Structure 1
Amino acid sequence: MNFASDNWAGATPEVMAALGRANDGFAPAYGNDALTQRVTARFAALFEREVEVWFTATGTASNSLGLAALSRPGGLVLCSSEAHITTDEWGATEFQSGGMKLIALPQVAGKLQPQDVVDALGRYPAAGRFGTPVALSLTNATELGTVYRPADIAALTAPARAAGLAVHLDGARFGNAVVATGASPADLTWRSGVDLMSFGGTKNGCWAAEAIVVFAPDRMRDLAARRQRAGQTFSKARFVAAQFEAYLDDGNWLRWARHANAMAERLRAGLRASNRARLGWESEANEVFAVLPGTSVAAIRAAGGSLHEWPADSLPVGQRPEAGETLVRLVTSWASSADEVGRLLSML
C-alpha cells in the first residue's frame, strides 16, 4: 500500500526500454543528437506551436531556472502559499535568481483566486520600494490535488499580464491536470496566458525527465547560461530525450496519468462512503487528502502502508482534525493497483 508519493513509483517498462535503445552506439552530445531534435519537434506538436525545450534533471531545477531567467533586481514572484517553489525547494528560486522574493498568496484547496492576484499587485506597485512583481507562478495540477481549467488560468493571468508580469506554470503533474480537465495542453498553457512551464515526467512514469518549455522566448534572459552554471546541461541529452519519446508515444503519458487519477477516485469514493474517515476537500487529480483516525493511520503503517501526514492549516478552522484525528495525503501513481486501494479502504 504505497501512497506516500508518486515519486516512490519506478519508471514504466516503456521508459526503461527506451533508455536501453538510446544506449546503443554513439550520438552527438549536448542536445545535438537526432533523438533530442525529434523530441523537441514532438513538444511543438503537443503544444500546437513552436517552443523552446530545455532539459533538466529535476522539477526544482526547472522551476528555479525558469523563474530566474525572468529575474530583475528586487523582483517579486507571486505564488500560492502551498506552491512547491515556496514550501519544498529550499529557496532554489531565490538562490538561482540572485535574490528575488516569493510572495505567497492565499489559496483555496491549493488554487489561487483572481481577486487575490489583483490585491497583491495593488500592494506591490511597480514603483514601490519593496520590489517589483515580475512573475506569477501557478501549479497544475495543484499541490493539493485540485486542477485549474483554461478559464481559471485565463482569469488569473489576465491581471498579471496587464501589469507586465510573465506567467510560469509548474507542471510536475501536468499529465494528471490534462486528463482531469479534458483540455488540451495548449489550452492549459499559452492559450490561457502562460509564458513558460516546467513540464514534468518523473512523477508520471519517467526515470528523470523534466524540461523547461518556453512559449515566449523574448521574455527569457540567459536561460542557456543559467542552466549551464547550475550544472543542468546534460552532455548525454539523448537519455532524457529517450524518456520523453517513450512518455509521449501513443499517448502513454495520458494513459498513465488517467490510471493514477482513476485510482485516486477509487480512494475518494471509498473515503466518502466510510464512517471512519472524511475527505479534507474534493480533489480531481492523483492526490487525495483525508482526515483519518490516528488509530487507522497507525494500523495502515503497521501493515506496511505508506502515507504522509499533512499540515492541518491547509483546512479551514472549522474543518480541521479533532482530537485523535490526522490529516493525511494519499498519492496514487501509474503503478498503483486497485488491490492496494481496496486493502487501504478495508482498514477503515
Structure 2
Amino acid sequence: MDFTSDNASGIAPEILEALGRANAGTASSYGADGVTARLKAKFSELFECEVEVFPVVTGTAANALALAALTPPYGAVLCHELAHVHLDECGAPEMYSGAKLVPVGGAKAKIDPALLRAELDKLPAGVVHHVQPAALTLTQSTELGSLYSLDEISALTAIARERNLRVHMDGARFANALAALGVSPAQASWKAGVDIMSFGATKNGAMAAEAVIVFNRDLARDLSFRRKRAGHLLSKMRFLSAQLEAYVADGLWLRLAGHANAMTAQLAEGLRNLPEAVLHLAPQANEIFVRLPAETLLRLKEAGAGFHRWPMPGDSDGAYTVRLVTSFQTDPEAVGRFISIARG
C-alpha cells in the first residue's frame, strides 16, 4: 500500500529488457551510439514534427536546462506559485539560467490568465530596473494532479506570444495527462504553442530517464553545450536512450500511465464513499489530495500504508490532508485494502 510517490515504483519489464539489450557488447560514448541516434526520428514521429531530443538523468535537470535555453540571465520565467520549478528544485532553474522565477496564482495549480497578464504588466519591457519577461512554464499534469485543457494551454500561450515570451512545459507526468485527456502528444504540446518541454519517464516506468524535447529548433543551438556543462552528457548515454526508446515503443508509456490513472480513479471512488473524507480536487490523473481524520490516518499508517502529509487550508490536528499517488505498479488489491482499512 505504497502511495507515497510514483517515484517509489520500480522499472517496467519492457524497459528493463531494453537496458539488458543495451548492455550487450560495446557502443560509442557520449551519445554517439545507435540507440541515441534513433531517438530523434522516434520522437519526431511521436510528436508529428521534427524535434531535437536531449536525454538527461533527472527532471530537475530537464527543467533547468530547458528554461536556460529560453531566457537571458536578466530574464523572468513566469510559473505557477505551486510549480515544481519554484518550490522543489532548490533554485536549479535560476542557477542554470540566471533568470528570476516569478510566481503566478490560479486555482487548482493552474495559472490564471488574468493573473498572468497582471504579473506581466508589473514588468514592462525595456525598463532597465526590472527583469525582462522571457518565458512561461506550465506543468502538465499539475502539482495538484489537475490538468490543463487544450483550450487553457492555448489561451496562456497566446498571452505569452503577445508579450514575446517562449513557452516551456514541465511534463514530468505528461503521459498521465495524455492518457486522461485522450489527445495526441502534438496537440498537447507544440500545436498548443509550446516551444520546448521536459518529457518525463522516470515516474512512469523508467529507471532514470528524462528528456528535453525541442520543438522550436532555434532553441536547440546551444543545448548540447549547456547539457555538457551541467554534467548531464552521460558517457554511456545509450542506457538513457534505451529507456526512452522502449518507453514510447508501441504505446507503452500511455498504457502504463493509463493503469496509474485507473488506480487513482478506483481509490477516489472508494474515498468518496467515506463520509469523513474530503477530496480537495476531483482527481484527473494519478494524484489524490484528501483530508481524513487523524485516527483514520494513524490506522492506515499502522497497517503499513505509505503516503505524505500535504498541508491544506482547513487542516487541523484532528483531520489533515495527505497526498496519495498511484503508479503503473499499483495493485488493485492494495487500493481495495486501503479503502477497507480507512472504512474501519
TM-score of Structure 1 vs Structure 2, range by shorter chain = over 0.9
* 1:71-123: CA deviation from partner (whole Å, max 9, x where unpaired): 2132100000110001100000111113x111111121111121111111111
Return the TM-score normalized by structure 2. Answer: 0.97
CA distance in 2, matches of 1:204, 1:186: 20
Residue matched to 2:325: 331
**Amino acid across the alignment from 1:325:** A
C-alpha deviation, 1:272, in angstroms? 1.2
C-alpha deviation, 1:312, in angstroms? 1.1
CA distance in 2, matches of 1:299, 1:39: 47
CA distance in 2, matches of 1:73, 1:10: 38
Residue matched to 2:312: 312
**1:188-207 aligned within 5 A:** 188-207=188-207
CA distance in 2, matches of 1:33, 1:111: 40
Question: Quick check: 1:209 aligned with 2:217?
Answer: no
C-alpha deviation, 1:311, in angstroms? 2.2
**Amino acid across the alignment from 1:42:** K
Work out the percentage of aligned pairs sharing the same amino acid: 49
**1:255-294 aligned within 5 A:** 255-294=255-294
**1:75-114 aligned within 5 A:** 75-98=75-98, 100-114=99-113
Residue matched to 2:72: 72
**1:1-348 aligned within 5 A:** 1-98=1-98, 100-128=99-127, 129-220=129-220, 222-313=222-313, 320-348=314-342
* Number of equivalenced pairs: 341
Is residue 166–residue 219 contact of structure 1 (8 Å, CA) maintained in 2?
no
Is residue 84–residue 143 contact of structure 2 (8 Å, CA) maintained in 1?
yes
C-alpha deviation, 1:176, in angstroms? 0.2
Return the TM-score normalized by structure 1. Answer: 0.96
C-alpha deviation, 1:207, in angstroms? 0.2
C-alpha deviation, 1:180, in angstroms? 0.7
Secondary structure of 1:62 counterpart: helix
Is residue 70–residue 221 contact of structure 1 (8 Å, CA) maintained in 2?
no
C-alpha deviation, 1:297, in angstroms? 1.3
CA distance in 2, matches of 1:275, 1:87: 33
Which deviates the most, 253-262 or 65-74? 65-74
Is residue 52–residue 220 contact of structure 2 (8 Å, CA) maintained in 1?
no
C-alpha deviation, 1:224, in angstroms? 1.3
Secondary structure of 2:177 counterpart: helix
CA distance in 1, matches of 2:273, 2:132: 49
Secondary structure of 1:156 counterpart: helix
CA distance in 2, matches of 1:31, 1:68: 21
**Amino acid across the alignment from 2:335:** V
Secondary structure of 1:213 counterpart: strand
CA distance in 1, matches of 2:322, 2:11: 25
Is residue 169–residue 194 contact of structure 1 (8 Å, CA) maintained in 2?
yes
RMSD: 1.1
Gaps of 5+ in 2: none
C-alpha deviation, 1:191, in angstroms? 0.4
Is residue 82–residue 110 contact of structure 1 (8 Å, CA) maintained in 2?
yes
* 1:284-323: CA deviation from partner (whole Å, max 9, x where unpaired): 000011011111111111111110111214xxxxxx2355
Gaps of 5+ in 1: 314-319
* 1:182-239: CA deviation from partner (whole Å, max 9, x where unpaired): 1110010000000000000000000011000000121456211111111000111111
C-alpha deviation, 1:130, in angstroms? 2.1
Secondary structure of 1:54 counterpart: strand
Secondary structure of 1:69 counterpart: helix
**Amino acid across the alignment from 1:273:** N
